[in-house]
Amino acid sequence: MTNLAYFIRHSGRAAIIGVGCGRDVLSAWRFGFRDITGVEINPILVRLLTHDDLFARFAGLSSLPGVRLIVDEARSWITRTPETFDMLQMSMIDTWAATGAGAFTLTENGLYTVEAWSRFRSRLTERGLFTVSRWYSPGSVNETGRMVSLAVAMLIESGVSHPEEHIFLAASGQVATLIVSRSPLSAGDVATLEKTCDRYGYKILLTPGGEAISEVLARIRNSESREALERYTSGLDLDLTPPTDDRPFFFNVLAFNKPHLIFRFLNEYAGVGTGNLVATLTLATILLVSLGLVVVTIVVPLRSALDQVGRVLVVGGTAYFALLGFGFMLVEIGLLQRLSVFLGHPMYSLSVVLFSLILFTGAGSFLSERVRLEASRLRLVTWSVLLGGYLLSLPRWLPVAVAGFQTSSTIARAGLSVAVIAPAGFLMGFGFPTGMRLVQAVDRRPTPWFWGINGGAGVLSSALGVALSIAFGIHVTLTLGALCYLALVPAGLALRSAAATTTT
């Protein structure tokens, strides 16, 4: 099933996304390709295929002339390479066990977005094909529908006026294979594909000029514009909207804005849908358990610290440190998710983003001892406005900057990420020590309460940030984080007013 595209292309240059143990590379060779590049993110697999005496000899890839294996993140490599390909294949690059369990539902994936597929298409020759195989649930569109939605959106964004002429979709058992051509599929190509499906008993789901197997797939395929596609797919019970770099959650098809469908989802959608539900309920459970623990371990034990403390300090301080906790974690989650897609490898995103954020936040906290924001109202307001304004601007210019660095080396992309994080981290570092000095200038007794509120808000927003990004997009998570910092103005001024009153 995964090799269906090779029945209409028998030679040229092929690229395999996700080599795994080498099945797709061997398939490309078997069907006549003699210039094959395999891109694999896991260096252990490449080492096994090329240097391990037992497995390398068993797989046989290292002995095939014209085959090269590259250790890299596929999207990053394809973006950087000037080469073009007659076949670009991405087949089953995750296991059914992981998908069915919902392992990828809450994680971003840069290989399944409109921007990524547009880049893949740009690396095809005029006769080139991009083929993707994913899990299929007979009787339900699930991931298959979202895969078609993604292909149609990519073609529309690429200026294709009739996407239906570029798409062929077939399935066998629990596997569906999508073929997307750079140029319209010829009548001969379509006839060959249909004959091949008939010969091997594959079910044709979509074919140029033919009837779709379901109304949903037909409506998606026949969308005349991106707006029409978004309007239709967002109105379905399942979330089949095309994923983007701002909302790169291809594996989640459970619409977070339709919680009333959860139990219906459990009864009607099996396989991938069950995994979606498990992951979503896990996220909801984490949020509820975190809320309960915050109440039990922070709110109840530390509530007594507020006795005999002025109302302005209690309200202003609680709001200040809660907003600080929510804002910091929402910004951190948003940056991690957005830059993870950009950097490609999850190890890079964690190390670069977290290290940079902690480093520059620490630098800001250190400098706050010398540059005391609480010394004047103007300083406090200026800091909040600068930080909030910078964070609000990120969703507007960051995608442009990221697009400009897509073809750059990993070091250059990491450098841009650090440059993006540095101003935000540095300014965010001022918030906590400034707030603590304001509180202690009034009364030291409620200090544990404010520490706890800040930590509790951070814990809750870590789960909330993931849910917001999946439901509305990463830009919403960053925007809400920015608004939290802007809202520090009245809370901070209230604290400063209380401190000034105590001093006098």
Among 215, 235, 255, the domain-final residue is 235
In the predicted model, what is the mean pLDDT of residues 12-18? 96
Statement to judge: residues 214 and 318 lie in one domain: no
Report the number of distinct structural domains present in the chain: 2
CATH at residue 341 = 1.20.1250
**Overall average pLDDT of the 90-102 stretch:** 59
- Same domain, residue pair 354 and 445: yes
pTM over 0.85: yes
Residue 102, pLDDT score: 42
Of 207, 235, 263, the position where a domain reaches its end is: 235
Can you give 198-252 as a three-state secondary structure string? HHHCCEEEECCCCCCCCHHHHHHHCCCCHHHHHHHHHCCCECCCCCECCECCCCC
Say whether both 224 and 322 belong to one domain.
no
Does position 160 have pLDDT exceeding 70, yes or no? yes
Which band of pLDDT confidence, cut at 50, 70 and 90, is reported for residue 98? very low
Q: In whole angstroms, what is the distance from residue 310 CA to residue 494 CA?
A: 12
Q: Per the domain annotation, does 249 fall within a domain?
A: no
DSSP 183: S
| 269: in domain | no
Q: What is the mean pLDDT of residues 100-112?
A: 66
Q: Tell whether the model's pLDDT for residue 95 goes beyond 70.
A: no
Give the residue from 218, 128, 206 showing the smallest Cα distance to 167: 206
Containing structural domain, residue 55: 4-235
What's the pLDDT tens digit per position in 337-348? 999 888 877 788
Please tell me whether residue 408 adopts helix, strand or coil conformation. coil
> Cα separations (Å) of 322 from 131, 328, 424, 455?
48, 10, 18, 8
61/164 same-domain check: yes
pLDDT at 133: 96
Yes or no: say if 160 and 116 are a contact pair by the CB < 8 Å rule.
no
Fill in the amino acid letter for 311: R
Length of the chain (residues):
504
pLDDT digits (tens, 9 = 90+) for 220-272: 999 999 999 999 999 888 889 999 999 999 988 887 766 666 666 655 555 55
Residues above pLDDT 70, as percent of the chain:
91
- From 184, 216, 235, give the residue that closes a domain: 235
Using 50, 70 and 90 to split pLDDT, how confident is the model at 106?
A: low
Kindly state the tokens that stand for 65: 């002339």
d(CA 504, CA 500): 6
How far apart are the C-alpha atoms of 354 and 278, rounded to whole Å?
28
The per-residue pLDDT of the chain, averaged, comes to 89
Residues 59 and 163 in one domain: yes
Residue with tokens 């750059």: 408
21 and 112 in a single domain? The answer is: yes
Residue type, 72: D
How many CB atoms neighbour CB 215 within 10 A?
9
